[in-house]
Structure 1
Amino acid sequence: MKKLFLKQSLLYTLFFALLLTSCKKDSEKINDQNQTGSSQTISQEEKSDSLEAKAEEKESIPPAIQENGFYNAFAIPKDKKQRDSLYAIFSKKYTERERYAILALNRLDSKSKWNSDTLVVPVKIDTTLMAYSPFPMQLDVLSEVKKFVVFSYPIQAYAVYSNGTLVKWGPTSMGKKAAQTTRGLMFANWKKKLAISTVKSEWKLPYNFNIHNTHGIGWHQYDLPGYPASHSCLRLLMKDAMWLYNYADTWILNPGGATKKANGTPVLVFGDYPWGKRKPWRNLLNDPNANNISVEEMTNLIQPHVDKMVAEQTNREKVADSIQSAKAMEAKTPIEEPESAN
């Protein structure tokens, strides 16, 4: 009887042990499931937070065009793919003539269109550029000067006046810091449709017009990278170089070409570029008149040279008239043939 009782007790003990083990496993399984579910919930929440963060980040990225008033900033990313994508938008939004004008305002040509991290873009595009002229529209001090060309180093721009009226202006790239363009009053000398640079023979200079013969300085077409980059010459866009090539008058030389008889169109180069500082045309984003040169400033620059310019102009007209008269007389004079011997 005692043995039977012990056997039953042992069986009950084993049964309860098995039951406890089973309960423990079930409990662990339930806990694991709860933890897995909780982990999945946390993961989903984190994913949701991440998506929201990305959405916020995307919304915080500035637009390509940042509106500032009269001029807008067209931001250009560094990444090439993004730049190409942005250029597609740029090309779709603006016509070819409008793009040309925008680049010109930023002292760039089409070759150097992305040589900047920001483009200054007018709200209203004037493809003649005259609406954005930093030069005065009228200068009475030049009323007696028939043709006058001026280059501003500070804003890297040129202007053309006819009897004091502004007829054209545009961008330029003048001498870099180590090879700056000579300042002061000069006169147009000789011109050549395709000149070869004296610095490097590989450099071809279309529509070159010399203004300083001994220094070899002239204006011509060449790359406009958005800052002063030349070896003392005055770089222009192709259209501007062609226009000025046909506009300005050359010098007149004495027979044989050794000496000068008359000067050509007067050219004034003035001012200093803000080396190492913000590009002046970027200031238009804050103030649309930031680059404007006042009538008073221009008058003070030009006034000391007026008498010389008028005197040279008068002399050239006299020389030119004299040459024309001589040619006319020559054309009218019959050529006498020598009498033939009988």
Structure 2
Amino acid sequence: MKRSIIYTLFFALFLTSCKKDEVASSDPQTPSSEEIAKNTSDPDSIKAKPVEESAPPMMQENGFYNAFAIPKDKKLRDSLYAVFSKKYNERERYAILALNRLDSKSKWNSDTLVVPAKIDTTLMAYSPFPLQLDILSDVKKFVIFSYPIQAYAVYSNGALVKWGPTSMGKKSAQTDRGLMFANWKKKLAISTVKSEWKLPYNFNIHNTHGIGWHQYDLPGYPASHSCLRLLMKDAIWLYNYADTWILNPGGATTKAKGTPVMVFGDYPWGKRKPWRNLLNDPNANNISVEEMTKMIQPNVEKMIFEQTNREKVADSIKTAKASEAAAVQETEVLEN
């Protein structure tokens, strides 16, 4: 009888409405120990070819999103997951959970999963961000986090190269908005809020406020103490992508800033989770080129200024090291 119920629930994917989102609970406890991956490559990351304007999600042409209902009963839930695992392979399950702003640890932290009819494990087919932003054509690296849809995007010279889920600051400890720059990074940092919290692939973006992105639980809603939580693969990718600051001798002052990072918008606290709206409209979370351009434009001049300065500083350091190495080599020749 239970098996019949399970299969009925699984194949009843088409829902006209979803349950009201659960109110965010207190912060999750320290995650179980997880080995930090050494391989820094991400097979699910692709570089999109520049296009003249933002293309619509693939789902518009090839299908739509379905709702996967999750029962409250633990036994039914566990059995249903076995069916879910049989229907979708590991990479497909990863993509589905990412679309719902969940990691594997928090996979059932919801009563409904939004599931695309066609699974793209790169996630690029479902990007809510424009594929091309001409306003960023001269900006080599740029990372942006959206509070409204709890997602981040990475642009290189205006082309979207990656996007993914995040869990940002909870309502009582919200992440700072505006333009910031990547500072220092550490493969395994310790939280300043609670020493038991380990933060793999931490990359600081606001030194005085202690804000950074790193791997940690993604429960399906904003839950952090102002940091930007990421899936492990995304944390590793961004750790290797972004540039750090360059400090003056002694480390007291900044000589050059790192990769520009922007955080914008507000989360619909207490309302339906934004990605649930995809069930009614596959474009519900899309951010237009015009909206992105209007938001980014006032900061472009500063980003390019800091980018140019960093290149000059990096080149001068490289030249100085080369001269120093040449001088050492010349001294060794003379001594011999």
**TM, length-normalised to structure 1:** 0.80
Residues 112 and 224 in structure 1, CA contact (< 8 A), matched pair in contact too: yes
Pair 203,310 (structure 1): closer, same or farther in 2 beyond 3 Å: same
1:169 aligns with 2:163: yes
Structure-to-structure mapping, 1:24-35, within 5 angstroms: none
SS of 2:281's equivalent in the other structure is coil
CA root-mean-square deviation: 1.7
Residues 70 and 113 in structure 2, CA contact (< 8 A), matched pair in contact too: yes
Give the match for residue 298 of structure 2.
304
- 1:155-197 Cα shifts (integer Å, max 9, x gaps): 0000000000000000000000000000000000000000000
1:317 aligns with 2:317: no
Q: For 1:214, which of 196, 199, 208 is the aligned residue?
A: 208
Q: For 2:255, which of 261, 264, 282 is the aligned residue?
A: 261
Give the match for residue 54 of structure 2.
none
Residues 64 and 75 in structure 1, CA contact (< 8 A), matched pair in contact too: no
Give the match for residue 44 of structure 1.
none
Provide structure 1 residue ranges, at least 5 long, that are not aligned to the other structure: 1-53
Structure-to-structure mapping, 1:55-94, within 5 angstroms: 64-67=11-14, 70-94=64-88
Structure-to-structure mapping, 1:234-273, within 5 angstroms: 234-273=228-267
Give the match for residue 331 of structure 2.
336
Q: For 1:292, which of 274, 286, 294 is the aligned residue?
A: 286
Alignment coverage as a number of residue pairs: 282
1:283 aligns with 2:277: yes
Partners of 2:109 and 2:71 lie apart in 1 by 11
SS of 1:144's equivalent in the other structure is coil
Greater than 4 Å deviation, 4+ residue runs: 61-64
Partners of 2:10 and 2:240 lie apart in 1 by 43
1:65 to partner: Cα distance = 3.8
Partners of 1:335 and 1:63 lie apart in 2 by 74
Partners of 1:164 and 1:313 lie apart in 2 by 15
Give the match for residue 115 of structure 2.
121
Partners of 1:298 and 1:313 lie apart in 2 by 20
Partners of 1:232 and 1:201 lie apart in 2 by 16
SS of 1:66's equivalent in the other structure is coil
Partners of 1:65 and 1:325 lie apart in 2 by 65
Q: Which has the higher contact order (CA 8 A, sep 6+)?
A: 2
1:259 to partner: Cα distance = 0.4
- 1:244-280 Cα shifts (integer Å, max 9, x gaps): 0000000000011000000000000000000000000
Partners of 1:79 and 1:249 lie apart in 2 by 47
- 1:184-231 Cα shifts (integer Å, max 9, x gaps): 000000000000000000000000000000000000000000000000
1:274 aligns with 2:221: no
1:335 to partner: Cα distance = 5.5
Pair 83,62 (structure 1): closer, same or farther in 2 beyond 3 Å: closer
- 1:20-50 Cα shifts (integer Å, max 9, x gaps): xxxxxxxxxxxxxxxxxxxxxxxxxxxxxxx
1:188 aligns with 2:178: no
1:336 to partner: Cα distance = 3.5
**TM, length-normalised to structure 2:** 0.81
Percent identity of the aligned residues?
Answer: 85
Give the match for residue 132 of structure 2.
138
Supply the AA of the counterpart residue of 1:336.
Answer: T
Give the match for residue 233 of structure 1.
227
Residues 218 and 234 in structure 1, CA contact (< 8 A), matched pair in contact too: yes
Supply the AA of the counterpart residue of 2:331.
Answer: E
1:331 to partner: Cα distance = 1.1
- 1:96-152 Cα shifts (integer Å, max 9, x gaps): 000000000000000000000000000000000000000000000000000000000
SS of 1:326's equivalent in the other structure is helix
SS of 1:307's equivalent in the other structure is helix
Residues 100 and 113 in structure 2, CA contact (< 8 A), matched pair in contact too: yes
SS of 2:209's equivalent in the other structure is coil
1:64 to partner: Cα distance = 4.4
Partners of 2:79 and 2:182 lie apart in 1 by 44
Partners of 2:305 and 2:331 lie apart in 1 by 40
Whichever structure has more helix as a proportion of its residues is 1
SS of 1:67's equivalent in the other structure is coil
Supply the AA of the counterpart residue of 2:188.
Answer: L
Larger Rg: 1
Residues 10 and 80 in structure 2, CA contact (< 8 A), matched pair in contact too: no
1:66 to partner: Cα distance = 1.6
Supply the AA of the counterpart residue of 1:176.
Answer: K
Provide structure 2 residue ranges, at least 5 long, that are not aligned to the other structure: 16-62
Partners of 2:165 and 2:287 lie apart in 1 by 15
